Structure 1
Amino acid sequence: MTEILAPAAPIDVAGTVLAHADAERVRRTLESSISPATKRAYASDWRSFAAWCAAKGYPPLPASAETVIAYLSEAAATVRPDGGWAYAVSTLTRRAAAINAAHVSAGVPAPGAGGQVARALLAIRRERTQGPRRVDPLLTDDLKILLRALADTTWPGAVAATRDAAVLLAGFAGAFRRSELAALNLSDVIPSRHDGVHLRVRRSKTDQEGAGLVKALPFGHDPLTCAPCALYRWMDLLTAVDGAGGRVALMRAVRDMNAQETHVCRRERARTDSEAPLFRSLAGGGAVKDARMSGHAVNEMLKRRAAAAGLDPTRYGGHSLRAGFVTQAFRAGADSRAIRRQTGHRSDTVLAVYDREYAPLVGNAVTAIGL
């Protein structure tokens, strides 16, 4: 978020003025408390607010609570051409947080400190009658449809098909957020002779301190839906890419790759210490880039694969994998504690949403009243 912050200036706190160097350390400490993804979002939010202030003739820093409320209210009233709200309440809330963070980092009072901005956001939330839009969960049968549709063993389509199968199966079996999938490195894949594959999540949305979490992806019965198989097929292609053979080696690896009807997960696998991204961007002609696949790219890939499989892509997104795991687990009779062991949720509050909206008949007495 450094691009939206003013240079560190002496800070006067209770009559004590910090020197420039100490003020800079304070700024950096506060900045490090925010995750990189949040910093990027805050930077975009600040640019929006600063541009709005410039157009209106208001100072963005320091800004009054009234200025921020006027900005948020105008954004809240904006509608898209289809009649829907242009900005969700969650987006407006984040923008208010970004404005406050910029003020705190610059050593000036935050406009939200008095509670007026929070009350304005509450009023906006009450005025919105539409519920939050959620993507549909991808259940096991849906996932099989996608996997069968993307089965491609020919060059160069097999490269993208192999990567996407690995992303889909790891995301579903591991109940991953798309940002967590994008952040995985090769060294985070830990082969297990007994469990299948362990995937190390170094940091997540609810674990900003980086305590970490290990998710186990068990051996699957069907090679089509076996997550370890899908990961190893993709990693075999990466081994060819990262070696000295280049494109020729990759083409050879695609040619020698076992089809989805055959398990490849049971042979001994060595763990790598490479910090290269696990899921990478692709270029035309089967080329694998060094850059990691972004969370947005995961979302767009899933939509493309859903469309190719005959499903409505507008109903699905990257979160469909995590939502699908939770929903499928509830439908299979798993309890919330067992589900949280894989998802990393700290309470049952969010899980109850999936249980209520996507598995309404599970444990419901209506199934036992003889209708």
Structure 2
Amino acid sequence: MEGSVSASTRKAYASDWRSFTAWCQAKGYTPLPAAPETVIAYLSEAAAAVRPDGTHAYAAATLTRRAAAVNARHTGAGQLPPGADGQVARALRAIRRERSTVQRRVDPLLTDDVKLLLRAITESTWPGAVAATRDAAVLLAGFAGAFRRSELSALNIADVIPSRHDGVYLRVRRSKTDQEGTGLVKALPFGHDPLTCAPCALYRWLDLLAAVDGEGGRPALMRAVRQAGPADTHVCRRERARLHAELPLFRSLAGGGAIKPARMSGHAVNEMLKRRAAAAGLDPSRYGGHSLRAGFVTQAFRAGADSRAIRRQTGHRSDAILAVYDREYAPLVGNAVTGLGL
């Protein structure tokens, strides 16, 4: 039963269940088994809670997840879920209708925006070049591959598959919409400009990892930085063997240019992107880890790609989510208003 959901979902459900049981104890209700009216009362009180600034303390999505957590705990205990008769679902619909607020979304980073961020990454000497090399690889892989930040974090070195004809393939073993691990391969083609060539960026980072993962340690890493050469030349056409190391691809960094063995978290991807956006003169509050994936979809729509071609890279199973990007970020694409002659 525990293996049927992701670790992050288990952690969220455990927190939600603690919240529900604490509320039941304070109010004198029985948490297991719980009546539908008990769950509705709990959700209603949470929906009415506000912060000092007057905003809602809990988003509607959070309340929906909490209801799911209560149902899941009942199912796991062999009890009938309180949401089985539909009353809880109707209460949640009422909460969402009452809120009727537009969901806040981060701005997409389009191709020109990504170039702006990359041009602002100017560190080419030790130790700043280590972070610059890693961040450029994360930015280009995330944008060209339409990655979620959790997917970037989960990549291993063995998931990088060189292709002499196409560029680089990146194997996504598991994702938000693929919890059973069917897998997906994303292709990052050779780029015309070395600045925006995703295979070049990945290979430069892999060269640094090879130095630090070998027996040379810090001196070898420093030599690799010096030998990396300028970022305005291609390094992607050199024949490269596939590496089979089951070690994290994108890793945390320590002061002084040291590369840690620990995996770069999704939160760290988000914070890195904000730092790089600020360094490029953009407002960091408007961007986040999802800006790369949203930027891919938006740029692809603006370039005339159809939804099937976009889903081939993003891994979306339907056009429903893509329609959100199309509507909010590219409203003039295919819109008849452009032909009115105004």
What's the counterpart of residue 253 of structure 1? 224
- CA distance in structure 1 between the partners assigned to 2:207 and 2:269 by the alignment: 21
Deviations 1:164-218 (A, max 9, x none): 1111110100001111111111110000001100000111111122111100000
- Contact 1:31/1:105 (8 A) holds in 2: no
What's the counterpart of residue 20 of structure 1? none
- CA distance in structure 2 between the partners assigned to 1:260 and 1:45 by the alignment: 48
Name segments (4+ residues, structure 1) moved above 4 Å. Answer: none
1:352 counterpart = 2:323:
yes
Write the letter of the residue equivalent to 1:236: D
- Contact 1:302/1:316 (8 A) holds in 2: yes
What's the counterpart of residue 204 of structure 1? 175
- CA distance in structure 1 between the partners assigned to 2:278 and 2:52 by the alignment: 24
What's the counterpart of residue 160 of structure 2? 189
205-214 or 322-331, which moves further after superposition? 205-214
- Partner SS for 1:291: strand
Report matched runs for 1:118-157 at 5 Å. 118-157=89-128
1:213 counterpart = 2:184:
yes
Q: CA deviation at 1:354?
A: 1.0
What's the counterpart of residue 85 of structure 2? 114
What's the counterpart of residue 280 of structure 1? 251
- Partner SS for 1:338: helix
Deviations 1:73-127 (A, max 9, x none): 2222223344332322111111111111112112222222222211111110010
Write the letter of the residue equivalent to 1:240: A
- CA distance in structure 1 between the partners assigned to 2:318 and 2:284 by the alignment: 30
What's the counterpart of residue 311 of structure 1? 282
Task: Give the root-mean-square deviation of aligned CA atoms.
Answer: 1.4
What's the counterpart of residue 4 of structure 1? none
- CA distance in structure 1 between the partners assigned to 2:31 and 2:202 by the alignment: 48
Report matched runs for 1:42-81 at 5 Å. 42-81=13-52
Write the letter of the residue equivalent to 2:164: R
- Partner SS for 2:102: coil
- CA distance in structure 2 between the partners assigned to 1:288 and 1:63 by the alignment: 50
- CA distance in structure 2 between the partners assigned to 1:169 and 1:80 by the alignment: 38
- CA distance in structure 2 between the partners assigned to 1:82 and 1:147 by the alignment: 37
Deviations 1:45-97 (A, max 9, x none): 22322333343343333322222222222222223344332322111111111
The structure whose RCO (Cα within 8 Å, separation 6+) is larger is 2
What's the counterpart of residue 88 of structure 1? 59
Q: TM-score, normalised by structure 2?
A: 0.96
What's the counterpart of residue 312 of structure 2? 341
Q: CA deviation at 1:44?
A: 2.3
- Partner SS for 2:218: helix
Report matched runs for 1:99-110 at 5 Å. 99-110=70-81
What's the counterpart of residue 9 of structure 1? none
What's the counterpart of residue 165 of structure 1? 136
- CA distance in structure 2 between the partners assigned to 1:51 and 1:158 by the alignment: 50
Find the partner of 1:98 among 39, 46, 69. Answer: 69
Write the letter of the residue equivalent to 2:208: L
What's the counterpart of residue 337 of structure 2? 366
What's the counterpart of residue 243 of structure 1? 214
What's the counterpart of residue 26 of structure 1? none
Q: 1:250 to 1:56 in 2, by over 3 A?
A: farther
Structure 2 unaligned segments of length 5 or more: list them.
Answer: none
Q: TM-score, normalised by structure 1?
A: 0.89
Q: 1:257 to 1:81 in 2, by over 3 A?
A: farther
- Contact 1:282/1:289 (8 A) holds in 2: yes
Q: 1:300 to 1:337 in 2, by over 3 A?
A: same
Identity fraction in percent = 82
186-195 or 58-67, which moves further after superposition? 58-67
- CA distance in structure 2 between the partners assigned to 1:87 and 1:159 by the alignment: 40
What's the counterpart of residue 31 of structure 1? 2
